[in-house]
Amino acid sequence: MPKINRYVDISTIDREAKKDYIDRHSPFVHCESTAKKGEPFKVKVKMGNEYCHPDDFDHYIAYVQLWDGETLLAQTNWQPGAMGNQCAHAEVDFYIVPQKSKLKLTAMSYCTKHGLWESDPVEVTVED
Amino acid sequence: MPKINRYVDISTIDREAKKDYIDRHSPFVHCESTAKKGEPFKVKVKMGNEYCHPDDFDHYIAYVQLWDGETLLAQTNWQPGAMGNQCAHAEVDFYIVPQKSKLKLTAMSYCTKHGLWESDPVEVTVED
Amino acid sequence: MPKINRYVDISTIDREAKKDYIDRHSPFVHCESTAKKGEPFKVKVKMGNEYCHPDDFDHYIAYVQLWDGETLLAQTNWQPGAMGNQCAHAEVDFYIVPQKSKLKLTAMSYCTKHGLWESDPVEVTVED
Amino acid sequence: MPKINRYVDISTIDREAKKDYIDRHSPFVHCESTAKKGEPFKVKVKMGNEYCHPDDFDHYIAYVQLWDGETLLAQTNWQPGAMGNQCAHAEVDFYIVPQKSKLKLTAMSYCTKHGLWESDPVEVTVED
């Protein structure tokens, strides 16, 4: 099975190369902590907080998925070169319309050399 | 072959149902008219300007693609329900990094009942 | 995070409903146990051995992925209705060209109601 | 808009390089001419009849789609390297379950260097 790599707080890590490796491969979910029921809600998924990831033909971020708990909401696939073949933070803004009282958002991403990675979950309260 | 439907300026159309049909099935590319070479450039693709599209299980916008000329940059797929099963303007913000002097952006979208649609192209000048 | 459900040998399970639930949600990898280096190698991924899965608009198998260890090889997405809206074993034959001495193939699949599932891994010896 | 390239009978073409270019970029739909209503029906989509296509990181077949008229049935995406980074005929077998009396199958494919291509349509009679 593909191993699922998980983000680890890089401030707890000494070795610079490892900080870089973990940060640039981790998707991060950025959104408000509360949403309005039945209204579009923006959710940014962005790779890396501090370190960018290559966009080489043989080494790039191929996709991110946005999940709410065990439900897939959307998936964005990039072709290599979309980030100009330079180091970048691949990112995409999804817009979803919540109908339930809580969201538990997670992003999954795939690097063509370093496999599958999962973000920390982000909880969102949905108000009427 | 799948027919490719193209946007027609709806102000030229009399019949309300046809205006609605064309508008809500057309993807629109929204972005600045100039970009900076080697820097992330935001490109919003949004379905419909004036009319929203259903998000029913048997009738929804399944994907949009962003093209630069004949080169695919990225594709976003939605699962039905991501728009809360209500009428909505499916949208996504892509971030691309241009390296050439011009972009010619087009979006393609697919409705599970009404097929493949193509936006008007949007030209972007890329400055050093 | 999405929970990853794994196949359990259903002969060890008493309750019929649970056997059915596990079997029809599990992808199975079917292929020869040896492949020839540099030659196309057929790998079938098929959902369920004994029980079929609905193809309803609000409940269907949306995709399968084929992995070799931590490397994604290919992904097939279905639109609802591709299985005729009847109970079926969603399946796809991939053809890959191995260059290494061993493959460790796993399939992942996604049901729009019951989430992410993973097959047992299948090891393939690759001969020169 | 992305130009859609179409297959041209290569026996009508003199120049070897052009024959090769057209053939290896064209998806072909291979299936029986009759199907049984409500039963799985195998449809192979294969790139090229006579000429293989590179599987280089910067030049590969990224996806094929299978359409019935204006309805998308399924899409397979490959990662570069799935064909062993050698010249190959990317192929996939889809299984669909027809419920109508006729199918009009078309494949679309995308080469990361040479854009979007469309197969000749294949008509299938569906018997009760």
Report the complex ipTM. Answer: 0.95
Partner B contacted by D52 (CB < 8 A): no
> Can you give the pLDDT at residue C10?
85
Contacts of D77 in chain C (CB under 8 A): 74-77
Per-residue pLDDT averaged across A15-44, rounded? 94
From C42's Cα to the closest Cα of chain D, the distance in A is 9
Distance CA C103, CA D84 (A): 12
C87-108 pLDDT tens trace: 999 999 999 999 999 999 999 9
What's the domain range around D88? 4-127
Distance CA B92, CA B31 (A): 12
Is a pLDDT exceeding 60 seen at residue A1? no
Per-residue pLDDT averaged across A47-64, rounded? 96
Contacts of B105 in chain D (CB under 8 A): none
- Which runs of E-coded beta strand occur in chain B? 4-6, 27-30, 34-36, 41-47, 61-68, 71-78, 91-96, 102-111, 115-118, 122-127
For D120, phi and psi rounded to 5 degrees? -65, 145
Is a pLDDT exceeding 70 seen at residue C1? no
D111-123 pLDDT tens trace: 999 999 999 999 9
What is the band of A6 on the pLDDT scale with cuts at 50, 70, 90?
Answer: confident
> Can you give the pLDDT at residue C88?
97
B56-65 pLDDT tens trace: 999 999 999 9
Pick the residue with more confidence: D7 or C118?
Answer: C118
| Range from A12-21, C93-102, C119-128 carrying the lowest mean pLDDT | A12-21
Pick the residue with more confidence: C2 or C7?
Answer: C7
Region of D85 on the Ramachandran plot (φ > 0 left; ψ -120 to 50 alpha; else beta): left
What is the band of B33 on the pLDDT scale with cuts at 50, 70, 90?
Answer: very high
Average confidence score pLDDT of chain A: 94
> Can you give the pLDDT at residue B15?
86
> Can you give the pLDDT at residue C68?
97
Partner A contacted by B94 (CB < 8 A): yes
Is a pLDDT exceeding 60 seen at residue B38? yes
Q: Yes or no: say if A73 and A106 are a contact pair by the CB < 8 Å rule.
A: no
Please, which chains are in contact with B (at least 3 CB pairs closer than 8 A)? A, C, D
Helix (H, G, I), strand (E, B) or coil at B31: coil
What is the band of C11 on the pLDDT scale with cuts at 50, 70, 90?
Answer: confident
Which among B73, B79, B95 has the least Cβ separation from residue A74? Answer: B79
% of chain B surpassing 90 pLDDT: 84
Is a pLDDT exceeding 90 seen at residue D51? yes
Partner D contacted by C96 (CB < 8 A): yes
> Can you give the pLDDT at residue C42?
98
> Can you give the pLDDT at residue D84?
97
Is a pLDDT exceeding 60 seen at residue C73? yes
Is a pLDDT exceeding 80 seen at residue C118? yes
Output the CA–CA distances (angstroms, integers) from residue C108 to A44, B124, C27, C45, C89, in the order listed: 25, 40, 7, 9, 15
> Can you give the pLDDT at residue C37?
98
> Can you give the pLDDT at residue D15?
86
Helix (H, G, I), strand (E, B) or coil at B11: helix
What is the band of D100 on the pLDDT scale with cuts at 50, 70, 90?
Answer: very high
Pick the residue with more confidence: B53 or D5?
Answer: B53
The residues, any chain, with a CB within 8 Å of residue B114's CB and separated by 6 or more, are B5, B21, B25, D70
Is a pLDDT exceeding 80 seen at residue C75? yes
Per-residue pLDDT averaged across A28-45, rounded? 98
Report the candidate in D79, D83, D82 with the shortest Cα–Cα distance to residue D112.
Answer: D79
> Can you give the pLDDT at residue C15?
86
Token pair listed for A109: 């991403």
CATH number of domain containing C36: 2.60.40.730
Is a pLDDT exceeding 80 seen at residue B103? yes
Helix (H, G, I), strand (E, B) or coil at D47: strand
Partner A contacted by C71 (CB < 8 A): yes
A64-116 pLDDT tens trace: 999 999 999 999 999 999 999 999 999 999 999 999 999 999 999 999 999 99
> Can you give the pLDDT at residue C3?
83
Total domain count, chain D: 1
